[in-house]
């Protein structure tokens, strides 16, 4: 027998990380409130592409014009600005430029999930300090500084909490750790009450990260930027790819910078207003909401996995954190930028958390008995003998139930309930479709018996 020789092995730094795959339900969703993207605000971006010369596609791109436009828009020198492939790229450059084995980076937990990955890939060691409520724990961060500290990272508003630092916090960190690079990630800075860009850049040895993916609504272009002292920016430029931004992406971003600032400001004001409305509704529904200054809120629920699944059953994706114990029973919900999307989200949350009616497919075992029990409890429960969309909508209306759940046994029934605006739950039966098919049809969850439905009800 021929003995197989050992194959190549990853470096220990690469082996220390796993592929980044945000958790997503199998149930299909069409309203993406799990990634903190902004709305597309530029209505004439196609015109920009039409005007691009052919050389912009056939030749390697230069980010010089874009960097000059960023510098002009934010009152900086072009030498202070580096454009990258999204904020992730410039964050990774900074960590790669200043970390190595034997060096540490002080950051917060929870925070931007990629920070630990980039630190590990650089061979550095993260020192994570809790920040789940209240002001930035500056004293704790300074107490952790030692001779190995190469960098301190502050994300404000912090992701996923929405908590913010202050200019005084940054000044204290800068004074207390003069030999460490200070990295200030302001990807969500437009939504905060205080813009920390200028205060941060007034400090020595400080890098600021900004993004066009959030308030500017251009996440698909993957453009972010870093600002800092010219020698530091040149170091970040040296450790990254030479052509980080494509010519089409750079052209669109430059166009939006020159002509779209007022639209972005209007969008930010709308998000802040929607944020207040969403926090009020979540509080009324019994959730514990972390004060946020970002385009998302972090809320704690008694049963966060069910809220996530219930919203998915109504076509809405929100972010859960099953691998982060510190975020147990919390969900991050992106603030919708549009009025219709906000109305849809609020209606779905109320349906999941405060249902006022239940329809039960007559083919589900025990349907009549459960309907009788629920009727005594709510007087708004009925067994449904047909499962067409119009019929289900009519039955829910006759019940006077505006926030209705539906327990169905078939794929067509689940689809009809979803189209009728009901929260669909699949019920497995001996000869019915399997769990995967029910979930793919749109079921929030698949139950093995109707007792489980009772357990879900508030």
Annotate the chain with three-state secondary structure: CCCCCCCCCCCHHHHCCCCCCCCCCCCCCCEEECCCCCCCCCCCHHHHHHCCCCHHHHCCCCCHHHHHHHHHHCCCCHHHEEEECHHHHHHHHHHHHHCCCCCEEEEEECCCCHHHHHHHHCCCEEEEEECCCCCCCHHHHHHCCCCCEEEEEEECCCCCCCCCCCHHHHHHHHHHCCCCEEEEECCCHHHCCCCCHHHHHCCCCEEEEEECCCCCCCHHHCCEEEECCHHHHHHHHHCCCCCCCCHHHHHHHHHHHHHCHHHHHHHHHHHHHHHHHHHHHHHHCCCEEECCCCCEEEEECCCHHHHHHHHHHCCEEEEECCCCHHHCCEEEEECCCCHHHHHHHHHHHHHHHCCCEEEEECCCCCHHHHHHHHHHHHCCEEEECCCCHHHHHHHHHHHCCCCEEEEECCHHHHHHHHHCCCEEEEECCCCCCCHHHHHHHCCCCEECCCHHHHHHCC
The answer on 332 and 383 residing in a single domain is no
Q: Is residue 316 part of a domain?
A: yes
Domain with 30, as residue range(s), is 12-35+262-353
The answer on 397 and 289 residing in a single domain is no
Q: What's residue 160's pLDDT?
A: 97
* Positions in the chain whose pLDDT score sits under 70: 1-4, 379
Q: What's residue 374's pLDDT?
A: 85
Q: Is residue 47 part of a domain?
A: no
Structure-token pair, residue 243 = 């052509």
The CATH number covering residue 423 comes to 3.40.50.1000
The answer on 424 and 411 residing in a single domain is yes
The answer on 179 and 65 residing in a single domain is yes
Using alpha carbons, list the distances in angstroms from residue 286 to 256, 276, 303.
40, 16, 11
Name the CA radius of gyration of the chain, rounded.
25
Q: What's residue 42's pLDDT?
A: 81
The answer on 341 and 213 residing in a single domain is no
Task: Count Cβ atoms below 10 Å from residue 77 Cβ, excluding itself.
Answer: 12
Q: Is residue 337 part of a domain?
A: yes
Q: What's residue 254's pLDDT?
A: 96
The answer on 218 and 118 residing in a single domain is yes
Q: How far apart are CA 142 and CA 138, in angstroms?
A: 6
The answer on 444 and 369 residing in a single domain is yes
> Mind listing the pLDDT tens digit for each residue in 385-431?
777 889 889 988 888 888 999 999 999 999 999 999 999 999 999 98
Among residues 332, 353, 374, the one where a domain terminates is 353
Question: How do strand 330-334 and strand 296-300 relate by DSSP bridges?
Answer: antiparallel
The CATH number covering residue 297 comes to 3.90.1150.10
The answer on 383 and 298 residing in a single domain is no
Q: How far apart are CA 401 and CA 395, in angstroms?
A: 9
Q: What's residue 363's pLDDT?
A: 87
At 452, give phi and psi (nearest 5°).
-65, -30
The answer on 337 and 199 residing in a single domain is no
**Residue for token digits 């993957």?**
222
The answer on 183 and 284 residing in a single domain is no
Cβ-contact 290, 160 below 8 angstroms:
no
Among residues 208, 225, 259, the one where a domain terminates is 259
Q: How far apart are CA 428 and CA 361, in angstroms?
A: 12
Structure-token pair, residue 39 = 């709305």
The answer on 267 and 255 residing in a single domain is no
Among residues 325, 353, 381, the one where a domain terminates is 353
The answer on 276 and 247 residing in a single domain is no
**Residue for token digits 């202050």?**
166
Q: Is residue 224 part of a domain?
A: yes
Q: What's residue 383's pLDDT?
A: 82
By the 10 Å C-beta count (0-12 exposed, 13-18 middle, 19+ buried), 15 is classed as exposed
Q: Is residue 44 part of a domain?
A: no
- How many folded domains does the chain comprise? 3
Q: Is residue 184 part of a domain?
A: yes
Q: Is residue 41 part of a domain?
A: no
Q: Is residue 45 part of a domain?
A: no
């Amino acid at each position: 027998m021929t003995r197989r020789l050992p194959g190549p092995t990853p470096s220990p730094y690469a082996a220390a990380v796993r592929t980044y795959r945000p958790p997503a339900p199998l149930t299909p969703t069409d309203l993406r409130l799990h990634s903190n993207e902004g709305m597309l605000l530029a209505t004439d971006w196609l015109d920009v592409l039409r005007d691009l010369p052919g050389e912009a596609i056939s030749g390697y791109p230069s980010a010089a014009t874009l960097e000059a436009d960023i510098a002009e828009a934010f009152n900086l020198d072009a030498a202070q600005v580096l454009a990258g492939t999204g904020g992730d790229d410039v964050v990774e450059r900074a960590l790669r430029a200043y970390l190595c084995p034997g060096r540490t980076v002080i950051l917060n937990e929870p925070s931007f999930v990629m920070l630990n990955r980039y630190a590990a890939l650089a061979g550095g060691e993260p020192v994570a300090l809790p920040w789940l409520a209240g002001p930035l724990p500056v004293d704790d961060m300074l107490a952790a500084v030692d001779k190995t500290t190469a960098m301190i990272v502050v994300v404000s508003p912090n992701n996923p909490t929405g908590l913010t630092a202050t200019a005084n916090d940054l000044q204290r960190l800068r004074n207390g750790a003069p030999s460490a690079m200070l990295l200030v990630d302001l990807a969500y800075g437009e939504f905060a009450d205080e813009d920390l860009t200028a205060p941060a850049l007034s400090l020595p040895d400080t890098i600021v990260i900004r993004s066009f993916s959030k308030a500017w609504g251009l996440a698909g272009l993957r453009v972010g930027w870093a600002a800092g002292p010219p020698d530091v920016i040149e170091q970040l430029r040296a450790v990254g790819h030479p052509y980080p931004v494509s010519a089409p992406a750079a052209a669109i971003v430059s166009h939006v910078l020159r002509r779209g600032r007022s639209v972005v400001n209007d969008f930010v004001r709308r998000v802040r207003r929607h944020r207040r409305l969403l926090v009020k509704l979540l509080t009324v529904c019994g959730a514990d909401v972390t004060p946020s200054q970002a385009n998302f809120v972090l809320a704690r629920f008694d049963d966060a996995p069910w809220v996530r699944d219930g919203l998915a059953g109504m076509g809405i994706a929100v972010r859960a954190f099953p691998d982060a114990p510190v975020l147990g029973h919390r969900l991050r919900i992106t603030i919708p930028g549009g009025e219709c999307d906000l109305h849809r989200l609020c209606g779905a949350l109320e349906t999941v958390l405060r249902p006022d009616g239940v329809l039960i497919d007559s083919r589900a075992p025990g349907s009549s008995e459960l309907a009788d029990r629920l009727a005594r409890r709510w007087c708004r429960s009925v067994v449904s003998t047909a499962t067409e969309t119009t019929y289900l909508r009519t039955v829910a209306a006759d019940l006077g139930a505006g926030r209705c759940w539906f327990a169905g046994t078939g794929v067509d029934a689940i689809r009809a309930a979803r189209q009728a605006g009901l929260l669909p739950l699949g019920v497995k039966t001996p000869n019915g479709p399997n769990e995967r098919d029910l979930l793919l049809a749109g079921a929030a969850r698949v139950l093995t018996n109707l007792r489980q439905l009772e357990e879900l009800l508030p």
